[in-house]
């Protein structure tokens, strides 16, 4: 199966370098390129790639808005964000609008190629820098949403029989049972 890829980046040199690496792959075909948000949207309507490698910093319409519109109009197109920034706001912004992955431009070509293959078959992919940012965010989320260490919700989760026994012995008191 050949993966049909479109490149959207405002830097011609970046697109040319990416095309060079991708064209060397037997299973990847670059079918289009664009340098602005509007050009990307127009091209997507005409060629409908399997994977859109999308720079966040596109002029006129930024990559997050392009991703939002592509996801709505062409849900089968997998979006792989490409950015010079491993910033939580950008990563979360792209994920919220339907991107399947996020690669920071400091990653190597091999990592981008792997990411394209992964998202093409329905997986998510995050370059190591993006994964580090997401991992830190997950830690913060867990800490913010975890119950207090000495509160009743902090106890070890109960098995169904333990929860039933507690409800029988303490009617009206919520159990700590995880279903």
What CA–CA distance (Å, rounded) separates 88 from 79?
18
**pLDDT at residue 65, rounded to an integer:** 98
Place of tokens 């808005």: 65
**pLDDT at residue 169, rounded to an integer:** 63
**pLDDT at residue 23, rounded to an integer:** 95
Q: Is the distance from CB of 18 to CB of 44 less than 8 angstroms?
A: no
Tens digits of per-residue pLDDT, 6-35?
A: 999 999 999 999 999 999 999 999 999 999
Beta pairing class for 78-83 and 3-8: unpaired
**pLDDT at residue 152, rounded to an integer:** 47
Tens digits of per-residue pLDDT, 85-109?
A: 998 999 999 999 999 999 999 999 9
Q: Is the distance from CB of 57 to CB of 66 less than 8 angstroms?
A: no
What CA–CA distance (Å, rounded) separates 78 from 111?
17
Worst-scoring range by mean pLDDT, 89-93, 115-119, 160-164?
Answer: 160-164
Predicted confidence (pLDDT) at residue 166 exceeds the cutoff of 80:
no
**pLDDT at residue 177, rounded to an integer:** 46
**pLDDT at residue 140, rounded to an integer:** 83
**pLDDT at residue 139, rounded to an integer:** 86
Predicted confidence (pLDDT) at residue 150 exceeds the cutoff of 60:
no
**pLDDT at residue 179, rounded to an integer:** 43
What CA–CA distance (Å, rounded) separates 44 from 109?
23
Query: Which residues are registered as beta bridge partners of 80?
Result: 53, 101
pLDDT band at 147 (very low <50, low <70, confident <90, very high): confident
Go through the domains of the chain in sequence order and give each one's CATH number.
Answer: 3-128 (3.40.50.2300)
Tens digits of per-residue pLDDT, 42-81?
A: 999 999 999 999 999 999 999 999 999 999 999 999 999 9
């Amino acid at each position: 199966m050949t993966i049909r890829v479109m490149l959207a980046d405002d830097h011609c040199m970046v697109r040319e370098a990416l095309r060079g690496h991708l064209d060397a792959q037997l299973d990847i075909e670059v079918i289009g390129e664009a340098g602005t948000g509007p050009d990307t949207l127009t091209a997507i309507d005409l060629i409908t790639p399997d994977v859109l490698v999308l720079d966040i910093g596109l002029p006129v319409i930024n990559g997050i808005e392009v991703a939002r519109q592509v996801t709505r109009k062409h849900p089968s197109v997998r979006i792989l964000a490409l950015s010079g920034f491993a910033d939580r706001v950008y990563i979360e912004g792209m994920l919220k609008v339907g991107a399947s992955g996020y690669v920071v431009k400091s990653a190597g070509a091999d990592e981008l190629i792997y990411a394209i293959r992964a998202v093409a078959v329905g997986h998510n992919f995050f370059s190591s820098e993006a994964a580090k940012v997401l991992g830190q965010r997950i830690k913060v989320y867990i800490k913010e949403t975890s119950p207090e260490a000495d509160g009743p919700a902090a106890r070890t989760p109960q098995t169904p029989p333990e929860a039933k026994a507690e409800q029988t012995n303490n009617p009206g008191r919520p159990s700590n049972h995880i279903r």
